């Protein structure tokens, strides 16, 4: 399996376009990259092609970027998590995907990571996307 399999799964399961699938997955992996910092190299090594998805994600802009920036400036892990979510929401909005569809990306991405790279990488991803530490419960 490869990143192309993830894109195909997203297209078939969520009835989205290829651009929406790549962009949405890229937004999620971008948030993971932001939260994990240098540890993201383990994710990138285990899931070849993930950096290309991050590059395919729409750049946050407008109100969501402003809200995210303000929340991040307030400080604290909770505020930074909210800032990441605001940026995610803005990115999915740019892809013309509502929050209901956007929320369905997360379990599919985590399942893909678990099948492709194992539970440790999947837990790193899930923990980052849940705004918490590095373990999924």
Query: What are 90-131's pLDDT values in tens digits?
Result: 888 889 988 888 889 999 999 999 999 999 999 999 998 886
* The predicted structure's pLDDT at residue 69: 43
List, for residues 3-59, the tens digit of each pLDDT value: 999 999 999 999 999 999 999 999 999 999 988 999 999 999 999 999 999 999 987
Domain count, the chain: 2
Q: Which domain holds residue 19?
A: 1-57+99-137
Domain co-membership, 11 together with 44:
yes
Q: How far apart are CA 120 and CA 117, in angstroms?
A: 8
Residues 44 and 109 in one domain: yes
Q: What is the pTM of this model?
A: 0.80
Per-residue pLDDT at 126:
93
Whether residues 51 and 108 share a domain: the answer is yes
Q: What is the CA radius of gyration of the chain?
A: 14
66 and 131 together in one domain: no
Together in a domain, 65 and 109: no
Q: Are residues 50 and 70 in the same domain?
A: no
State the helix-helix crossing angle for 99-117 and 119-129, rounded to 10 degrees: 160
Asked if residue 53 and residue 104 are part of one domain, the reply reads: yes
CA 36, chain centre distance (Å):
12
Identify the pLDDT of residue 88: 80
Kindly state whether residues 28 and 6 are assigned to the same domain: yes
Q: Report whether 82 contacts 52 (CB < 8 A).
A: no
Same domain, 52 and 119: yes
């Amino acid at each position: 399996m490869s990143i192309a399999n993830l894109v195909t799964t997203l297209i078939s399961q969520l009835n989205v376009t290829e651009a929406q699938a790549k962009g949405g997955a890229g937004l999620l992996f971008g948030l993971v990259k932001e939260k994990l910092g240098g540890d993201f190299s383990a994710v990138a090594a285990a899931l070849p092609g993930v950096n290309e998805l991050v590059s395919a994600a729409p750049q946050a802009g407008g109100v969501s970027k402003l809200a995210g920036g303000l929340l991040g400036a307030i400080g604290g892990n909770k505020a930074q998590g909210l800032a990441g979510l605001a940026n995610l929401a803005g990115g999915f909005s740019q892809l013309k995907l509502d929050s209901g569809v956007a929320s369905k990306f997360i379990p599919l991405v985590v399942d893909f990571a678990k099948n492709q790279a194992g539970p440790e990488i999947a837990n790193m991803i899930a923990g980052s996307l849940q705004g918490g530490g590095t373990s999924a419960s």
